[in-house]
Amino acid sequence: MALEIGIKDSIEFKVENSDLASNLNISKDDSFPDVFATARLVALMECSAAKILIPLLKEGELSVGVGVNITHLAATLEGDTAISTATFDGMEGKLFKFSIEVVDSGGKIGVGTHTRAIVSTDRLMSGAKKRVAK
C-alpha cells in the first residue's frame, strides 16, 4: 500500500495535569509554568503522524520518529483539548515526511515538520541493547 501525498489524520488530546510543563522539572532549579509542555506537544505531533503509517506496518514493524522541527506558538491550559493534524508530504529516501499543525480552543498552538521511518521492532531493540552492552 502506498500513501497519497496530502492524506491527513488527527488526534484529539485532553491536556491533563501530568502533561503540564510544571511536572517536567528535572532539577530543583527548574521552574516551569502550568501549561501544556512542549515535550508533550511534540509527542502528540509524532502520534498524529504515526497514525497515518499504521496501515503500512507489517507484522513485527513499527514506525519511529527520526526528525522533529517544531514551533510552540501559544500556551494551552489544563483541561483544554489539543488537536494535532498531520499531513503526509512525501518521501525523502526511506523517510516519511509530514507537516503538522496543532490547535486548541483558542487557535493554533504549534506547527512543524516531522520525519518517520518504518523499522523492524526486533532490529531496533537489538541495536539499542548492543549500544549499551560493552
Q: Which is the catalytic residue, given 16, 46, 59, 81? A: 46
Q: Is 46 a catalytic residue?
A: yes
Q: Is 38 a catalytic residue?
A: yes
Q: Is 114 a catalytic residue?
A: no
72 closest CA partner among 30, 43, 49, 31: 43
Contact 60, 115 (CB under 8 A): no
Q: Which is the catalytic residue, given 4, 12, 16, 38? A: 38
Strand order through the sheet with 107-120? 8-14, 81-92, 95-104, 107-120, 61-72
Q: Which is the catalytic residue, given 12, 16, 72, 113? A: 72
How do 107-120 and 95-104 pair as beta strands?
antiparallel
Catalytic residue ranges: 38, 46, 72
